[in-house]
Structure 1
Amino acid sequence: MFVAIPFPEIDPAVFTIPVLSLGDFSIGPFPLRWYALSYIIGLLLAWKYADHLIKKNNLWSADNVKSPVSKDDLDDFIFWAMMGVLIGGRLGYIFFYQLPFEPERLLNDPLMIFKMWEGGMSFHGGLIGVAFAMAYTAHQRGLSILSLSDLGAATAPIALFLGRIANFINGELYGRKTDVSWGMNFPVFDERSRTWMYEDALGRELGSQGNVHPSQLYEAALEGLLLFSIVSFAVWKFKIYRKPGMATGIFLLGYAAARTFVENFREPDSHIGFLPGNLTMGMLLSVPMILGGIYLINRANKPNSGKRLPNSETPS
């Protein structure tokens, strides 16, 4: 008889700040969730790695010319990038996943746009938000937008890996039913009892309702570990930072390929289901990434594409 691998049943909250009472006024409790922690740690690790990359002048120029992005440039960009991830990720979910399929929910509760703690973030929306942050920072500081995007291409998989691990811990975004030996049965977390539940009071099955693919781990491995390895290898071994846009193109193509592959195992959102042609929203949103990746790689391979001007002369 087939037996699924047991779900680890980790509390989605790393820890909870208890209720704070000030006379008759009290606030809380405030749980710090693994998903929020993944954003924080992912940002810090990406920031640290990017800072390391801009110090290696030989990665950017055969003449060992100083990196086109300074530490001050990077520090400024990180703030706006975080804003782009949060705002773009939320708005992307609303416009890509919510408004076209459940407009009445938004009309009945317009404030749901701000209720990020209830879930609902889109990677593709976050990517658009970061693109705006790059454009703004490049314009303000006289940088090439490709210098920033190439840095992001090498560091983004770190945050992607941690985010998918957090999805797994939360028991969300799991895959389709399967009989593979590593399949899992994802339960539902009860906030009151702080326990994972597989059945309701009537004995009805909750959660994934059977053994399913742990697709969050597939995404962590492909969009995170594998993509980080590929881009980093190309940066350090082949010095692709000398060809502006190459790292960005590889990231866009690599993420789109990984996401499209995993979408074949991931369960579509219940309120969306499958699109015509058995496609999913994740597949559809990856198409522009494929086209953009191909364009940037071709552009980077053109003669003289590797010339980087000093910051003061670099067009925004």
Structure 2
Amino acid sequence: MSLAGSAPTAIYFTSLHLSPVLLQIGPFALRWYSLAYIAGILLGWFYLIRLLAENGAPMTREHADGLVTWVTAGILIGGRLAYVLFYDLGAYLAHPLNVLRLWEGGMSFHGGALGVAIAIIVYARRHRVDWLRIIDYVAMCAPIGLFLGRLANFVNGELWGRPTGLPWGMVFPGAGPLPRHPSQLYEAVLEGPVLFVLLWCLFRFTSARHRPGLLCGAFVLGYGLFRFLVEFVREPDQQLVAFAAATGLHMGQWLCVPMILGGAGLTFWACRQKSTAPQPSAT
């Protein structure tokens, strides 16, 4: 059966009755995309506090309360600037003030991750705490925000996948009549619950928390691999179709290559380092 022939039996996005706007009061609109960022930061903060209650934590609750502001700034500034630079620079050069229109979407995880790392390093140096171990703990929380962000992408009906004949293929408005992979949901599951459980198992059942860089390396490696693979069934951004055709890979995949290599290298390096776990005193 052809894809075109299978379209009438596909799932139609409009049948789900989803709207990117949760609440509209006059010119004010409360969007799911914005709520995903707010909820991701708050839930990540609460989870971080629970992790810090375990023995051998790298910072105090007070440090975590102060750090959340720095991390939020790193996410917003890094994520937005990277999207502008790598995904749609021409459009923003033509209309520079549109860079501030965050509520319309347009964020890069790669840039947000770099922004968070820089924010943590600066904060840790100011407060004389171990920045690499803090990044480990913050990496544990990142899958929560990634999961919610991908769900928001799905609600927005954006970042859809390539045409497919699979039973769960979905016809998205603006993407033509063919059913497509709901790649937003693939990424939500892999970058969210799957990555969360993998990191939790490392934290709970191994000495990873006491080997600075190991949890961060595992997160970066896992995200890079999952994102790289899902991109094969995802359509490239409209303004980067020619780039993908010319290079053979999507922009997101190219940005994942250094993450995969760096994550693997950091994980290997951390495994070879001496554990920071407190040693039992001799009796």
TM-score scaled by length of structure 2: 0.91
1:167-190 deviation per Cα after TM superposition (whole angstroms, max 9, x unaligned): 101101110111111100112xxx
Query: For this pair of structures, how many residues does the alignment match?
Result: 268
1:158-307 map, 5 Å: 158-187=144-173, 206-273=174-241, 274-304=244-274, 306-307=275-276
Aligned counterparts of 1:75 and 1:185: Cα–Cα separation in 2: 43
| Alignment partner, residue 82 of structure 2 | 92
CA distance in structure 1 between the partners assigned to 2:245 and 2:48 by the alignment: 38
Q: Does 2:128 align with 1:138?
A: no
- Contact 1:275-1:281 within 8 A present in 2 as well: no
Change (3 A) 1:106 1:38: closer
Secondary structure at 1:272 match in 2 = helix
Distance 1:276 1:308, change over 3 A: farther
TM-superposed CA distance for 1:243, in Å, is: 0.8
Compute the displacement of 1:288 (Å). 1.4
Indicate the residue corresponding to 2:111 in structure 1: 125
State the partner residue of 1:149.
Answer: 135
How many angstroms apart in 2 are the aligned matches of 1:9 and 1:267?
Answer: 23
In structure 2, how many angstroms separate the alpha carbons of the residues matched to 1:88 and 1:208?
Answer: 33
Amino acid of the structure 2 residue aligned with 1:298: F
Counterpart of 1:51, as a letter, is I
Write the distance in 1 (CA, Å) between the matches of 2:109 and 2:92. 20
Aligned to 2:281: none
Report if aligned partners of 1:68, 1:308 keep a CA contact under 8 Å in 2: no
Aligned 1:61-80 pairs, distance under 5 A: 67-80=57-70
The residue type equivalent to 1:145 in the other structure is: W
Q: CA deviation at 1:308?
A: 6.9
Of 6, 23, 36 in structure 2, the residue corresponding to residue 15 of structure 1 is 23
Q: CA deviation at 1:119?
A: 2.3
Tell me which residue corresponds to 2:36. Answer: 38
Aligned-partner Cα distance in 2 for 1:301–1:130: 23
Structure 1 position 134, deviation (Å): 0.8
- Contact 2:140 2:215 survives alignment (8 Å): yes
Aligned partner of 1:22 in structure 2 is none
Name the SS for the 2:225 alignment partner.
Answer: helix
Residue 54 of structure 1, aligned match among 52, 55, 59: 52
- Unaligned 5+ segments in structure 1 are 20-28, 61-66, 188-205, 310-316
TM-score between both structures, scaled by the size of structure 1: 0.81
Work out the percentage of aligned pairs sharing the same amino acid. Answer: 44
- The 1-side partners of 2:144 and 2:273 are apart by 32
Task: For residues 90-129 of structure 1, give each alpha carbon's deviation from its aligned partner in whole angstroms, at most 9, with x where no partner exists.
Answer: 1010111122xxx2x3332111211222321111111111
For residues 43 and 103 of structure 2, what CA distance do their matches in structure 1 show? 23
Write the distance in 1 (CA, Å) between the matches of 2:93 and 2:152: 30
Q: Unaligned 5+ residue runs, structure 2?
A: 279-283
Q: Distance in 2 between matches of 1:118 and 1:36?
A: 9
* 1:109 equivalent in structure 2: 95
Larger Rg: 1 or 2?
1
Contact map agreement 1:185 1:208 (CA 8 A) in 2: yes
Runs of 4+ in 1 over 6 A off after TM superposition: none
Greater helix fraction, Structure 1 or Structure 2 = 2
SS in 1 for 2:141: helix
Q: Which letter maps to 1:70? A: T
Partner SS for 2:11: coil
- In 2, the alpha carbon distance for the partners of 1:209 and 1:281 equals 26
In 2 relative to 1, CA 163–303 (structure 1 residues): closer, same or farther, beyond 3 Å? closer
Call closer, same or farther: CA 1:303–1:81 in 2, change over 3 Å: closer
Which secondary structure state, in structure 2, belongs to the residue aligned with residue 32 of structure 1?
Answer: strand
User: Residue 303 of structure 1: CA displacement?
Assistant: 4.1
